[in-house]
Structure 1
Amino acid sequence: MNIENAQVQMRKGILEFCILHVISRGEVYASDMLDELTSARIMVVEGTLYPLLTRLKNAGLLDYKWVESSSGPPRKYYVLTDDGKQFLTAMQETWLDLADSVQTIIRKTNDAIQTQKTS
C-alpha cells in the first residue's frame, strides 16, 4: 500500500468539511479558499475545488453572488445557506465524535507500546 495515496485519501475525506468551515465565516472567493486550504496543508487544486463547490451548491448548501472587480472580471463569492449551516453543525458534531474515537484508539495503542517496552 502506498502511504502517499492513503494520506491523499484521508485529506479528501475531510475537504468538504474544511471548505464549509471556511465559507461559514462569511463571503469567500474560491482562490482565497485555495490559499487557506493550501496554507493549512490540505492540498487542493482548482480542478478539485470547483466541482466540489458546484456539488455543494446543487445540494442547496451554498449560494454565491457575483461581485464586480476593479482588476478584472466579476468574482463569484460563496456563502452558506441556512441548510448549509445546519449541515455544517451536524458535520461538526460527527467530526468531534470521530476525532475523540480515533484519539481513544491511538491512546490505547500508545499505552500498549509503552507497556511492551517496559516489560
Structure 2
Amino acid sequence: MTSEKARSGVSQLRRGVLEFCVLALLRDGEKYGFELVRDLGTAQAMVTSEGTIYPLLSRLRRDELVSSSWRDSTAGPPRRYYTLTPAGLLALKEFTAEWTPFRDAVDRLLTSEENTA
C-alpha cells in the first residue's frame, strides 16, 4: 500500500506540472474547459476536476499564457474556448527543455534505488 507521504509527493508533483499539461493540450488547437478535463482524464495519472481546471485557466489567462473567447454551443450554453498564446508556447517549450532531463534523472535514480534494494 502507498504511504501518505508518497501520495502527497505525487499530488504536489501533479499540481506542479498540470498547467504545462494544459498548455500542451492547447498546442494543437483551441479547447473549452470540460474538453481539457476530459483529455487530462485519458492520462490516468492526470485525472482532474472542473473545480481544479477553471481556476488554473483563469490564472493562465491572467498570466497571458492563454487567451479565450466565448462561442455558442449547439449542446447548451455558450462555451469559453482557450487558445495558447505565443507566451504560452514559449513557456511550454522552456518547461519541456527542463522537464526531459529532470524526468530522466529522476527515472535513473528511482531505477537505481530499486536495483539496490
Task: Give the TM bin, normalised by the shorter chain.
Answer: 0.7 to 0.9
Aligned to 1:59: 63
Identity across matched positions, percent: 34
Cα displacement string for residues 20-46 of structure 1 (whole angstroms, at most 9, x for unaligned residues): 111111011111110111121112111
Alpha-carbon distance in structure 1 between the residues aligned to 2:13 and 2:86: 28
Unaligned runs of 5+ in 1: 114-119
Aligned to 1:17: 20
Two-structure CA RMSD over aligned residues (Å): 1.5
Alpha-carbon distance in structure 2 between the residues aligned to 1:87 and 1:104: 26
Aligned length: 113
1:86 aligns with 2:79: no
Alpha-carbon distance in structure 2 between the residues aligned to 1:108 and 1:70: 53
Residue range with higher mean Cα deviation, 8-17 or 93-102 = 8-17
What is the TM-score normalised by the length of structure 2?
0.87
Cα displacement string for residues 79-119 of structure 1 (whole angstroms, at most 9, x for unaligned residues): 11000100100011111011111122123223323xxxxxx
Aligned to 1:103: 107
